[in-house]
Amino acid sequence: MKTPHKARIQVAVALLSEFTRQLNQLDRAKAVDLLRKSYEARKINPIRGKTQPPDLYDKEMATLYVIGKYGLKLDLEYPELVEKIFYIEKNLEEALDDIVQNKFQEAREKLKRVSPTGVIDSNTIARLLRIPLTRLMLGFISEEEFKSVMQKVLEAIPEEEKTLRNYARFFVAYKLAEAIYKGEVKTREEKEALKKALAIRIGFPKSTPSDEYTAAIATQVFNIDEKTLEKILSIRKQKTSQESTSKSPS
């Protein structure tokens, strides 16, 4: 079976090793720049939706954080690495832990401190959800656990329901693109069946992505060629779906 994240993991492990060696000379901005240069050298795109926000590589630091903590246990061996480089992800995950434990007010205060604007907005929630999503993508939690997290965040921060629904749509599109990459989905019928099943399984049955949205992720993240996508997705030149006007939860 094809492994879509092999190169991403290899880059992350190499960078984390470099971070531990150069910790005295590094800050987060330098670490983000090293990540960007490494991805560009390997022609790897950050995990994202259709848009490419200016802070995309800073958000992609969540991938290194997840691999470092859950794959390599670097948080135990190098706690100073987390405090100096991955403090945003650490604080977001602490807020997420509070949400899971029904400590909603404590979580909200932590999220306000993490947010550059001091308020809980769609960007803050997208960053919060990026950590469990990355854990899911890399096999550190189950889909059922991710669903539970999504539902708890919705309960804790109901005013950001639209962001949660957009993120569920992103999740479905990503999983579809991954299934196409692995050769698990080869026909339009299989695509439609999996799309609906994923949305139901994640607890957001109406959050199904358009084929154009799925194609964008398939192209940018998985480098799937257009000829393959045209056999499975109904790709239109004209954007008509909700994704054409809504923000991508990158």
What pLDDT shows up at residue 53?
Answer: 81
Listed in sequence order, the DSSP H helices in 157-250 are 161-182, 188-201, 211-220, 226-232
* Residue 71 CA, distance from chain mean position: 17
Q: Are 10 and 209 in contact (CB under 8 A)?
A: no
C-alpha to C-alpha distance for 41 and 44, rounded to whole angstroms: 8
What pLDDT shows up at residue 248?
Answer: 60
pLDDT 10s digits, 172-200: 999 999 999 999 999 999 999 999 999 99
Q: Are 12 and 85 in contact (CB under 8 A)?
A: no
Q: Are 36 and 63 in contact (CB under 8 A)?
A: no
C-alpha to C-alpha distance for 178 and 218, rounded to whole angstroms: 7
| pTM for the whole structure | 0.89
What pLDDT shows up at residue 243?
Answer: 47
pLDDT 10s digits, 77-109: 999 999 999 999 999 999 999 999 999 999 999
Q: Are 51 and 81 in contact (CB under 8 A)?
A: no
What pLDDT shows up at residue 249?
Answer: 72
Q: Are 39 and 46 in contact (CB under 8 A)?
A: yes
* Token representation of residue 64: 């290194």
What pLDDT shows up at residue 49?
Answer: 79
b vs e for 64-79, b when ≥16 Cβ sit within 10 Å of the residue's Cβ? bbbbbbbebebbeebe
Residue 234 burial by Cβ neighbours in a 10 Å radius (0-12, 13-18, 19+)? middle
C-alpha to C-alpha distance for 55 and 157, rounded to whole angstroms: 23
Side chain identity at residue 49, one-letter code: G
Could you say which residues of the chain have pLDDT below 70?
1-2, 236-248, 250
b vs e for 136-175, b when ≥16 Cβ sit within 10 Å of the residue's Cβ? bbbeebeeeebbebbebbbebbeebeebbbbbbbbbbbbb
Q: What angle do CA 234, 7, 62 make, to 5 degrees?
A: 85
